[in-house]
Chain A
């Protein structure tokens, strides 16, 4: 840096000034460079300079009704596309309203960048109007965050934010930009920074670890492959299939891993865990080797750790080394991207079949299949599992389904069979009610031509129902199935099982969802009998705009099977009517 007066003069020349941009302009310049097509946001005082600069740039803005919706939309966009989603909000309440959405993205490793306005740097720390310490608040729920107080720092921080959000194990990054940094002038480097100085390499498994894993795999008689979200995030679906077919090892998925391995594949077993298939959980407890790919042994997957898969050795392929040996002690750690790990592992294993093991699982499966609600006549009732099954059949399993959180989410996971990656979007780790509608709206921008269904409960839907107006204003098309049982169903189910049927604060009154849709200028339909499902689904699919279909389902049905929290995977609660019929 020169202190020569001449140099100072030069930077102030008119020519140099035209090369300068405001921090606000730089925000959009960087977003365009990063390939951003759409941002979801809500304006306010401290972010006004950025909004004022926006119209000059080819980026669509979606005005949400609550900033939580903006974060979920960015998240839905990210999960549907694999690209970084962007949310923008003002300081103070605008920023804090993003928090639930950021935490959701953090738990499910979804790459989003949140841009917030902040009070002028001179007012920082003074409890100014709409000031909040959002970088402090979001510190534990972001991969990283930035407080930018100078225009010249906007571009480096934002580029780094995109890099960090999408690299390694993806996740949310927040960039808080003071109003004066948006208003100030800075030169924008014409070159894109290649990668931040703080870039760190993705770990790779050692060749010795690959060899040890291959030995365990070749020797295993009752192995299982666990497909987690890492399979989808790393684009490893084809390799997992190759791996399974070469080794004859069946595949089970986590909730977020559904679609990473085709549900219709003969080696697919379905979902594991608390509401996983009975035969899957039974197989896990009999297994002698678990090959976990891009998952983190969440407590909803393992149940009681002390009795979890005690006969099985464990191989853990996972991009985040801090997840390895966290909940379950592993025998071989394969830190790294699932795809590159499989590229090394698949050639190292021997081709073989495992007839006895598959027959054993088949027997477990046959027994469980007879208890399945799909084999049960509806008896004139509308059962939510039937709705999900029929929705799968009628959409030929080709829709992108975005679920909320609760019973309907589990029924969807059980009965909507996903054959392709990124065909299910759901809040797994945080379990955020109100996620589905805004996430589906974000996904719409990533997948303009795909059929999208929101599946939500009556409780969760009402948490973010205000975004219906956004759907109408933006002309977005999503189909919304509200599984209305008049309860906060999953909590009611726990009250039934574990709190002696005391239904405290779970009976739930809803607005007339058909009228609610109409109030937004949208179409509303109601289904009360199973025979009406095909017609309603057909009408929803045919409408050009968003359609709300309310399914008035049996009120006190429960999700089966269920492994109660922190119990042995074999201790499942089964559907009672069927246990009786079988006996």
Chain B
């Protein structure tokens, strides 16, 4: 997704950067955010949106593959959107990140036992059982999902959907508290 960025600073090491944004739940907000990614050439790996503990506030978790400078700039650009209430880069902060996937796999009767055993090993669940296929549901880190998908691939993947990651800071803190600490912006190299 997106084109090669025009930014000319030699890129540092690209890693999966996870940002959480609290945004106003208003028509067009998601459009503004996606438009920003498109316009500035940020490469989205995943983006999830959902409700939060606060009425009228949605939470966006976005994962981009980028170096730290780019992630800082993305954070600063997100923060310029008026509907964005706060942004927290949790990449280097203790946090929990999970993603969910459905995988529809071919499951002829003779291989079904083998398949179910693998699913169990990965602590995934079968949520639909048909004569020729099963749907496996799994939740975990990106790495765990990647692993399960690779294991299932030889059976024949008919259909695959991943939700994209959601993240939450560990401990008593709240992602929305980024608002308060904004004045000491951490842009300094």
- Interface centre among B24, B28, B76, B179, by most chain A C-beta atoms within 10 angstroms, is B76
CB contact between B182 and one of A164, A200, A325, A333 (< 8 Å): that residue: A200
Q: Is B76 within 8 A of A320, CB to CB?
A: yes
- Interface centre among A136, A143, A320, A324, by most chain B C-beta atoms within 10 angstroms, is A324
| A326 and B32 in contact, given A140-B39, A144-B82 (Cβ under 8 angstroms) | no
**In the complex, chain B residues whose CB is within 8 Å of the CB of A164:** 82
Residue of B nearest to A208 (CB): B188
A321 lies within 8 A of chain B by Cβ:
yes
**In the complex, chain A residues whose CB is within 8 Å of the CB of B189:** 325, 329-333
Q: What's the least CB distance linking A420 to chain B, in Å?
A: 31
Interface string of A309-350 (1 = CB under 8 A from B): 000000000001110111111111101000000000000000
Q: How far is the CA of A170 from the CA of B77 in the complex (A)?
A: 15
**In the complex, chain B residues whose CB is within 8 Å of the CB of A136:** 31
Q: Is B82 within 8 A of A198, CB to CB?
A: yes
Q: What's the least CB distance linking B11 to chain A, in Å?
A: 11
Residue of B nearest to A334 (CB): B188
B93 lies within 8 A of chain A by Cβ:
no
Residue of B nearest to A212 (CB): B188
CB contact between B187 and one of A143, A200, A306, A335 (< 8 Å): that residue: A335
A135 lies within 8 A of chain B by Cβ:
yes
**In the complex, chain A residues whose CB is within 8 Å of the CB of B77:** 322
A264 lies within 8 A of chain B by Cβ:
no
Q: Is B73 within 8 A of A326, CB to CB?
A: yes
Q: What's the least CB distance linking B165 to chain A, in Å?
A: 24
CB-CB contacts below 8 Å: B150-189 with A: 179, 182-185, 187-189
Number of residue pairs spanning A and B whose beta carbons lie under 8 angstroms apart = 77
Q: How far is the CA of A326 from the CA of B81 in the complex (A)?
A: 18
Q: How far is the CA of A331 from the CA of B35 in the complex (A)?
A: 30
**In the complex, chain A residues whose CB is within 8 Å of the CB of B83:** 144, 198
**In the complex, chain B residues whose CB is within 8 Å of the CB of A520:** none
A374 lies within 8 A of chain B by Cβ:
no
Q: How far is the CA of A328 from the CA of B7 in the complex (A)?
A: 9
**In the complex, chain A residues whose CB is within 8 Å of the CB of B8:** 305-306, 327
Q: What's the least CB distance linking A182 to chain B, in Å?
A: 20
A209 lies within 8 A of chain B by Cβ:
yes
**In the complex, chain A residues whose CB is within 8 Å of the CB of B24:** 198
Q: What's the least CB distance linking B83 to chain A, in Å?
A: 8
A203 lies within 8 A of chain B by Cβ:
yes
CB-CB contacts below 8 Å: B4-44 with A: 7-9, 24, 28, 31-32, 35, 39
Q: How far is the CA of A442 from the CA of B18 in the complex (A)?
A: 46
Residue of B nearest to A198 (CB): B82
CB-CB contacts below 8 Å: B74-107 with A: 76-77, 79-83, 85
- Interface centre among B8, B31, B183, by most chain A C-beta atoms within 10 angstroms, is B8
B72 lies within 8 A of chain A by Cβ:
yes
Residue of B nearest to A169 (CB): B80
Q: Is A324 within 8 A of B31, CB to CB?
A: no
Q: Is B188 within 8 A of A206, CB to CB?
A: yes
B69 lies within 8 A of chain A by Cβ:
yes
A201 lies within 8 A of chain B by Cβ:
yes
Q: What's the least CB distance linking A160 to chain B, in Å?
A: 8
A139 lies within 8 A of chain B by Cβ:
yes
Q: Is A329 within 8 A of B69, CB to CB?
A: yes
Residue of A nearest to B74 (CB): A322
**In the complex, chain A residues whose CB is within 8 Å of the CB of B9:** 305, 325-329
Q: Is B183 within 8 A of A324, CB to CB?
A: no
Q: Is B183 within 8 A of A333, CB to CB?
A: no
Residue of A nearest to B68 (CB): A325
Q: How far is the CA of A557 from the CA of B79 in the complex (A)?
A: 46
Q: How far is the CA of A330 from the CA of B184 in the complex (A)?
A: 17
Interface string of A127-165 (1 = CB under 8 A from B): 000000001100110011001000000000000000010
Q: Is A335 within 8 A of B79, CB to CB?
A: no
Q: Is A200 within 8 A of B79, CB to CB?
A: yes
Q: Is B82 within 8 A of A321, CB to CB?
A: no
**In the complex, chain B residues whose CB is within 8 Å of the CB of A329:** 9, 69, 189
Q: Is A322 within 8 A of B28, CB to CB?
A: no
Q: What's the least CB distance linking A250 to chain B, in Å?
A: 25
A204 lies within 8 A of chain B by Cβ:
yes
- Interface centre among B69, B73, B187, by most chain A C-beta atoms within 10 angstroms, is B187
Q: Is A333 within 8 A of B31, CB to CB?
A: no
Q: What's the least CB distance linking A307 to chain B, in Å?
A: 12
Q: Is A201 within 8 A of B187, CB to CB?
A: no
| A335 and B185 in contact, given A198-B82, A322-B80 (Cβ under 8 angstroms) | yes
Q: How far is the CA of A22 from the CA of B130 in the complex (A)?
A: 62
Q: What's the least CB distance linking A569 to chain B, in Å?
A: 15
Q: How far is the CA of A204 from the CA of B186 in the complex (A)?
A: 10
Q: Is B7 within 8 A of A198, CB to CB?
A: no
**In the complex, chain A residues whose CB is within 8 Å of the CB of B183:** 201, 203-204
Q: Is A139 within 8 A of B182, CB to CB?
A: no
**In the complex, chain A residues whose CB is within 8 Å of the CB of B31:** 136, 139
Q: Is B35 within 8 A of A333, CB to CB?
A: no
Q: Is A332 within 8 A of B188, CB to CB?
A: yes
Q: How far is the CA of A326 from the CA of B32 in the complex (A)?
A: 21
Interface string of A176-208 (1 = CB under 8 A from B): 000000000000000000000010110110100
Q: Is B80 within 8 A of A325, CB to CB?
A: no
Q: What's the least CB distance linking B156 to chain A, in Å?
A: 42
Residue of A nearest to B184 (CB): A206
Q: What's the least CB distance linking B22 to chain A, in Å?
A: 12
**In the complex, chain B residues whose CB is within 8 Å of the CB of A324:** 73, 76, 187
Q: Is B35 within 8 A of A321, CB to CB?
A: no
Q: Is A321 within 8 A of B185, CB to CB?
A: yes
| A135 and B28 in contact, given A140-B35, A322-B76 (Cβ under 8 angstroms) | yes
Residue of B nearest to A168 (CB): B80
Q: Is B73 within 8 A of A139, CB to CB?
A: no
Q: What's the least CB distance linking A337 to chain B, in Å?
A: 12
CB contact between A325 and one of B39, B69, B179, B184 (< 8 Å): that residue: B69
- Interface centre among A136, A326, A330, A332, by most chain B C-beta atoms within 10 angstroms, is A326
Q: Is A143 within 8 A of B185, CB to CB?
A: no
**In the complex, chain B residues whose CB is within 8 Å of the CB of A201:** 182-183
Q: Is A143 within 8 A of B82, CB to CB?
A: yes
**In the complex, chain B residues whose CB is within 8 Å of the CB of A330:** 189
Q: Is A333 within 8 A of B39, CB to CB?
A: no
Q: How far is the CA of A209 from the CA of B81 in the complex (A)?
A: 26
Residue of B nearest to A566 (CB): B8
**In the complex, chain B residues whose CB is within 8 Å of the CB of A139:** 28, 31-32, 35
Q: What's the least CB distance linking B8 to chain A, in Å?
A: 4
Residue of A nearest to B38 (CB): A140
Instruction: List the 6 closest A-B pairs by CB distance, nearest first.
Output: A322-B76, A321-B76, A144-B82, A203-B185, A305-B8, A333-B188
User: Could you name 6 residue pairs across A and B whose Cβ atoms are closer than 8 Å?
Assistant: A200-B182, A203-B187, A204-B184, A209-B188, A325-B187, A325-B189
**Interface residues in chain B, defined as those with a beta carbon under 8 Å from any beta carbon in chain A:** 7-9, 24, 28, 31-32, 35, 39, 69, 72-73, 76-77, 79-83, 85, 179, 182-185, 187-189
Q: 7 additional contacts, CB 8 Å, given A139-B28, A139-B35? A: A164-B82, A203-B183, A206-B188, A324-B187, A325-B9, A329-B9, A331-B189
